[in-house]
A and B are shown apart, each in its own frame.
Chain A
Amino acid sequence: MKSFLRKDGRKGIRNVLIVAYLVECAHHVARAIVNRSDDPAVQLIGFPGCFPNDYALRIMQALGTHPNVGGVLLVSLGCEGFNREALAGAIRASGRPVATLVIQQTGGTRKTIEAGLAAVMDMKTRIASVKRVEMTLDELVVGTICGGSDGTSGISANPAVGKCFDQLVRDGATCIFEETGELIGCEQVMMERAVTPGLAKEIEQAVVKAVHYYKTMGYGSFAPGNAEGGLTTQEEKSMGAYAKSGSSRIHGLIKPGDAPRQGGLYLMDVVPDGEPRFGFPNISDNAEIVELIASGCHVILFTTGRGSVAGSAISPVIKICANPETWKNMADDMDVDAGRIIEGEADLDEVGGEIYQRVQAVAAGSQSKSEALGHQEFILTYKSFEPIGPACLPAH
């Protein structure tokens, strides 16, 4: 597959131009620039808060230097706490074009939108000539998430993604699964798959942390629709979600924004460190997708039973539909029909192989369903993390 070669050596499968607001007060101006640019490759992201947050800065730096991103326009109101110089500096250091517009200095809404449109036009011409080079599967980073899970997810779409992950890991790709809060109850089986005892201990501690965090919040990562779809407990949902990880050894435990340097299977710990401060670890599926992308994911595999329609800014989202009734109802939004497994019309290997083909096609430029429908959801909120410990990324 042909990729976009960035000056920092990373290879992307899309050539996205990001417009990022740095506080909610700049959201409208940034959105107007994106809307008036009328180009699916010009995409909106942002952070709503006025108070500074190390995590938000780190994630925005990771997104601004993501392999799928060609250039970035920052839109600041001017008085917010976000460190726009540090963000622009990190993007500039990666060799990507970056421009910053400060609304208070530019003269308000109208003038900033006009200046933003000019900046976007200029940057589009600059990133259009980015070098195209061959990219192989061992350079690809793929993340997986489940949303709107039901009783079918854990027996069709999730284990089918697991089969695809097993093949990708054999090919040398980097595969990331996540949400330790949705892996409560799976700690013993995950520990057995860790490549070192030290990593196993870190995985166990991450799940203990997740239980504590969610207990403080009052309930687990379990929505009413999960129960309507036949799931009863957090650990039941967890076992189904866990199947997405396949059967490879677990090579490391990362936190949002950490990018593994070697291929393999990685678990992402998305639950903040320390006492709960900023609310739920992941307020919706897109918060998890953003974190996967911040860790370098080129493509996201999204399994759903009840039927999610979400996509994402920056990286394409491929939908794997677990439930045959949902497939009939929402086929326009779904890329792969794993409900055939429930109906006895296909087996896991067959559907896993289909997902594997779809990953390669989308990486080569084919649009996923959510991408073609214009889904570019994005959400980033407050969190706090300590850096991972030395046992989390053993050499292999």
Chain B
Amino acid sequence: MEAKFILLHPKDNVLVCCQQAGAGEIVTIDKEKIVLMQAMELGHKAARQTLSKGDKIMKYGVPIGSALHDINPGEHVHLHNMRSDYIPPHTRE
């Protein structure tokens, strides 16, 4: 079966979900094993490793923002725990 997550660049510290996955599922990328802490939807990101508050989130090999607090491997990385280094997004809230 195809892997449900992909690593877009070796420098990345997040993985991208290619197929819906449930909490507790084990993702293996390059022999690294990560246990998903939450269910994940297509297109969303999971932490590949432990991240500290202020760390740059790396995707496509480039920074896409910074961690707002410490993030565990397998945790969903999104609006609640990271933010842009440039400009805030527009949400419905």
Question: Contact: A234 with B89, CB < 8 Å?
Answer: yes
Question: Contact: A155 with B8, CB < 8 Å?
Answer: yes
Given A155-B16, A230-B78, A342-B18, does the pair A220, B65 have CB atoms closer than 8 Å?
no
Interface residues on B, range: 20 to 34
Residue of A nearest to B81 (CB): A232
Question: Contact: A232 with B65, CB < 8 Å?
Answer: yes
Residues facing A in B1-60 (CB within 8 A) are 2, 6, 8, 16-19, 41-45, 57, 59-60
- Contact check: which of A220, A223, A224, A230 meets B41 at CB < 8 Å? A230
Contacts of B43 in A (CB 8 A): 150-152, 229-231, 305, 323
Chain A min CB distance to B38 (Å): 13
Residue of A nearest to B43 (CB): A151
Contacts of A117 in B (CB 8 A): none
Question: Contact: A152 with B42, CB < 8 Å?
Answer: yes
Question: Contact: A151 with B16, CB < 8 Å?
Answer: yes
Question: Contact: A235 with B64, CB < 8 Å?
Answer: yes
Contacts of B82 in A (CB 8 A): 232-233
Inter-chain CA distance A234–B83, complex, in Å, is 9
Inter-chain CA distance A220–B65, complex, in Å, is 14
Is B71 in contact with chain A by the CB < 8 A criterion?
Answer: no
Interface residues on A, range: 35 or more
Given A220-B84, A234-B84, does the pair A226, B89 have CB atoms closer than 8 Å?
yes
Residues facing B in A338-357 (CB within 8 A) are 342-344
Question: Contact: B91 with A227, CB < 8 Å?
Answer: yes
Given A155-B8, A342-B18, A342-B42, does the pair A233, B90 have CB atoms closer than 8 Å?
no
Chain B min CB distance to A234 (Å): 5
Inter-chain CA distance A211–B77, complex, in Å, is 24
Contacts of B19 in A (CB 8 A): 342-343
Question: Contact: B42 with A325, CB < 8 Å?
Answer: yes
Question: Contact: A344 with B2, CB < 8 Å?
Answer: yes
Interface string of A145-162 (1 = CB under 8 A from B): 000001110110000000
Is A135 in contact with chain B by the CB < 8 A criterion?
Answer: no
Contacts of A233 in B (CB 8 A): 64-65, 82-86, 89
Question: Contact: A223 with B42, CB < 8 Å?
Answer: no
Given A150-B43, A152-B42, A232-B45, does the pair A219, B78 have CB atoms closer than 8 Å?
no
Question: Contact: A222 with B16, CB < 8 Å?
Answer: no
Contacts of A218 in B (CB 8 A): 88
Inter-chain CA distance A297–B64, complex, in Å, is 31
Question: Contact: B90 with A235, CB < 8 Å?
Answer: no
Is A261 in contact with chain B by the CB < 8 A criterion?
Answer: no
Chain A min CB distance to B29 (Å): 14
- Contact check: which of A189, A219, A227, A235 meets B79 at CB < 8 Å? A227
Question: Contact: B18 with A235, CB < 8 Å?
Answer: no
Chain A min CB distance to B12 (Å): 11
Residue of B nearest to A240 (CB): B60
Is A24 in contact with chain B by the CB < 8 A criterion?
Answer: no
Residue of A nearest to B1 (CB): A344
Inter-chain CA distance A150–B45, complex, in Å, is 11
Chain A min CB distance to B60 (Å): 5
Is A239 in contact with chain B by the CB < 8 A criterion?
Answer: yes
Measuring CB to CB, which residues of chain A are less than 8 angstroms from any residue of chain B? 150-152, 154-155, 184-185, 189, 211, 214-215, 218-220, 222-224, 226-227, 229-236, 239-240, 305, 323-325, 342-344
Instruction: List 15 A-B residue pairs with CB atoms under 8 Å apart, sorted by A's residue number.
Output: A151-B43, A151-B45, A152-B42, A184-B87, A219-B90, A230-B45, A232-B45, A232-B57, A232-B83, A232-B84, A233-B65, A234-B89, A236-B59, A342-B19, A344-B2
Query: Known contacts A185-B64, A215-B87, A342-B19; can you find 20 more A-B pairs with CB under 8 A?
Result: A151-B16, A151-B42, A151-B43, A152-B18, A184-B86, A185-B86, A218-B88, A220-B86, A223-B90, A226-B89, A227-B91, A231-B43, A232-B84, A232-B89, A234-B89, A235-B62, A235-B65, A323-B42, A342-B42, A343-B2
